[in-house]
Structure 1
């Protein structure tokens, strides 16, 4: 008897089909193109004054008045050198650095602690106080200028750097508390619970756990405080009378106090003033973007 052995025929390999990409609707493509064009136009309009300032800083006064071109025909460094000497950069730079540094330090220390309380602790009126700070975001700072000047005059600090630092710290409260509170709330509660089980108090939890983890948000708040403080002019112009206390924006204003405004020197002075801000932003932009995104998501 002959036995026929059944042979198993292997299955044919399955044909792998490449998933088709979904075609973007034409309306979406058109909308994105319009938005891209609008943003590009806005970028050009925004960058042109800055580029003109940089260009004028390397021109002579006559070439600036003639205008008509952005790139200097005969670039010169003499404008920057002369302006540097007239501006007495280092004297006013130290004043601006003092005001900006102490303001930023005060904002980070005070409002990080306040934001930790709003985000983590439980106390009566917590939500009401937090909403009050949010409402203050919509109050223009100029409406408080006269009360600040009168109050500082009564306190005897008008015309001093302390008279600038305190209002600057106070004016940054709403935005700083909003960003830092959202950043602290985004951290898991298990970290605080575990630290309390290990016997850590609130101060240690705040300084050893929450502050290091919220470093991008802290850098964001510090940057959002330092740049406006460095460029602040109105309160400084109203309160400061002694040239020894002038900050860089006030010193820059002195360049155009003559009868004939030297536009090339004025633009050179503006470039000198803005360079430290640009360097600061470029050095911290990675933390700034991450901190701002994390705070908004939180």
Structure 2
């Protein structure tokens, strides 16, 4: 992919060698400037950013309730979330599309964000609940003795101590959302709302496939994911270890 992104169309069709004879940035620049990839990139950032934000806000609160608070039906509801891990996402595609159409969300970015947030619930609740349970109860009791409210305990005690777990969830949410294709393909018809996977598909579905541009577009898609993981790798590993121990 990296090699093809720096080749001309003629050179990549010639094949037979991995390293480009005359490396060129023209393919990447052409793909970025002439194929609306700036718009696709922005749309992917919007959808991914809103999804990650929604997941962290909604399921951090839900997981805190499961891990710390006591209320009727807590265990049943928690295991119901966990059981959803075994439900293939493709089986709910048609109901989601029908529901979005009735709600007027089909063909919008929010029509992607809400199902993505909902789809990450099982794994997120499982990992964050385990992370919150690993926090010593004595810290919460000491904060309550000092007069701290439940919200203050959550914000000042539990969130800082479980930061690696939240970063892990952010990465596990951002990567599949950034790469998601099926629901985006079914939902979006307006090209101005396309995300990067749909932009990449438009290159492949043309009458004449320019493979060097397809590989350049793939490289554009992959680089942010690699950069995020490389930057957050330490927190990601610690978050997984902490959640498993919890």
**Match of residue 158, structure 2, among 210, 222, 233:** 210
2:13 matched to 1:65? yes
Secondary structure, in 3 states, of the residue corresponding to 1:75?
Answer: coil
Instruction: Tell me whether 1:96 sits opposite 2:44 in the alignment.
Output: yes
Worse-superposed segment, 175-184 or 127-136? 127-136
Higher helix share: 2
Match of 1:192 among 131, 137, 140: 140
CA displacement 1:200-226 (0-9 Å, x = unmatched): 121111111101111000000011111
Mapping of residues 26-175 of structure 1, within 5 Å: 53-175=1-123
Q: Does 1:183 align with 2:148?
A: no
Higher RCO, 1 or 2 (CA under 8 Å, sep at least 6)? 2
Match of 1:262 in 2: 210
Check conservation: 2:63, 2:125, Cα contact below 8 A.
yes
* 3-state SS, counterpart of residue 255 of structure 1: helix
* 1:275 alignment partner in structure 2: 223
Q: Aligned-pair distance for 1:247?
A: 1.0
Structure 1 residue 144: Cα displacement: 0.7
- Partners of 2:81 and 2:188 lie apart in 1 by 29
Moved over 4 A (4+): none
- 1-side partners of 2:203 and 2:34: how far apart? 8
Identify unmatched segments of 5+ residues in structure 2: none
Give me the TM-score of the superposition, normalised by structure 1.
0.80
Residues 236 and 250, structure 1, Cα contact 8 Å, conserved in 2: yes
Q: Give the distance between the partners of 2:139 and 2:174, measured in 1 at CA.
A: 31
The CA deviation at 1:108 is 0.2
Deviation for aligned residue 1:88: 2.1
RMSD over equivalenced CA pairs, Å: 1.1
Taking structure 2 as the reference length, the TM-score comes to: 0.97
1:134-178 CA distance string (max 9 Å, x none): 111111111111000000001111000110000000000001001
1:73-117 Cα distance to aligned partner (Å, 9 max, x none) = 222222112111223222222211111111100000000001001
Is 1:93–1:248's contact at 8 Å kept on the other side of the alignment?
A: yes
Equivalent pairs counted in the alignment come to 246
Which residue number in structure 1 is paired with residue 179 of structure 2? 231
3-state secondary structure, aligned to 2:17 = coil
Q: Which has the larger radius of gyration?
A: 1
Contact 1:87 1:252 in 2 (8 A): no
- The question of whether the paired residues in 1 share the 8 Å contact of 2:31 and 2:37 is answered with no
Of the structure 1 ranges 135-144 and 248-257, higher mean CA displacement relative to structure 2 is found in 248-257
Contact in 2 for aligned 1:180/1:218 (Cα 8 Å): yes
Q: CA deviation at 1:63?
A: 2.5
3-state SS in 1 of match to 2:204: coil
Partner Cα separation in structure 2 for residue 250 and residue 130 of structure 1? 35
User: Partner of 1:245 in structure 2?
Assistant: 193
Measured in 2, the distance between the counterparts of 1:56 and 1:62 equals: 11
